[in-house]
Amino acid sequence: MCQRCSSDSESINHILFDCPLSRSVWRQSNTIFSGSQAQDNSLEENIEILLSRYDQSTSKELQHLPFRICWQIWKSRNALIFNKEKLSTDEVIDKAKDSVNEWLTAISQDTRVQPSGQLCVEQRESKWIPPPSDFFKINVDGSFHLNNQYIGVGWIIRDDHGVYRLAGCSRLIQAY
């Protein structure tokens, strides 16, 4: 059961695209994807719509915003379930926009294109921050290979002492 709207079904598609909060976020986000397009679509169809419209955006911010909206909708659902924190439509959109701006700032400072056409990101010193005691932390990363259109994703789960518990990765083909 959906914790937001009490719908009988809480599928990923419902959470990201069909729940009333999600539809409101999509309508007010000024992206090329509006929530009304998602009704009666499967999750796969909705993601395909987002991917097919990626290159149609006029700015880098609008290219990345739909994907960050999905992430913030998911995080707002988790905040409600685990912390009883209810985020408004505007808060979800603002967090998504902040995330896009943070990402674009980070890549503009550290990314350059090599003569081969590959992107090169300079390494920064970083420190892993453990989760609270008796919790696990999942770190994720992704990559995109411009020439062959492959997307790579990976994740690792560690406990509060930094001990490896589980990890995985995958390569997705035909990225848009």
Q: What CA–CA distance (Å, rounded) separates 41 from 30? A: 20
pLDDT at 5 over 70: yes
Angle at 37 between CA 2 and CA 171, to 5 degrees: 80
Band of pLDDT at residue 147, cut at 50, 70 and 90: confident
Range with the lowest mean pLDDT among 40-44, 71-75, 113-117, 130-134? 113-117
What confidence score (pLDDT) does residue 136 get? 92
Give the CA-trace dihedral at 144, 146, 149, 151, to 10 degrees: -10
What confidence score (pLDDT) does residue 70 get? 93
pLDDT at 89 over 90: yes
Model confidence, pTM:
0.62
What confidence score (pLDDT) does residue 116 get? 56
Mean pLDDT comparison of 4-8, 9-13, 89-93, 145-149, highest-scoring range: 89-93
Band of pLDDT at residue 73, cut at 50, 70 and 90: very high
Q: What mean pLDDT do residues 123-144 have?
A: 83
Q: What mean pLDDT do residues 99-120 have?
A: 66
**Closest CA relative to residue 16, chosen from 6, 5, 31, 26:** 26
Mean pLDDT comparison of 32-41, 103-112, 132-141, 147-156, highest-scoring range: 132-141
The domain ranges of the chain are 12-120, 127-172
What are the tens digits of pLDDT across the range 17-46? 989 999 999 999 888 676 556 667 888 888
pLDDT at 111 over 80: no
Q: What mean pLDDT do residues 8-23 have?
A: 89
Angle at 69 between CA 8 and CA 135, to 5 degrees: 75
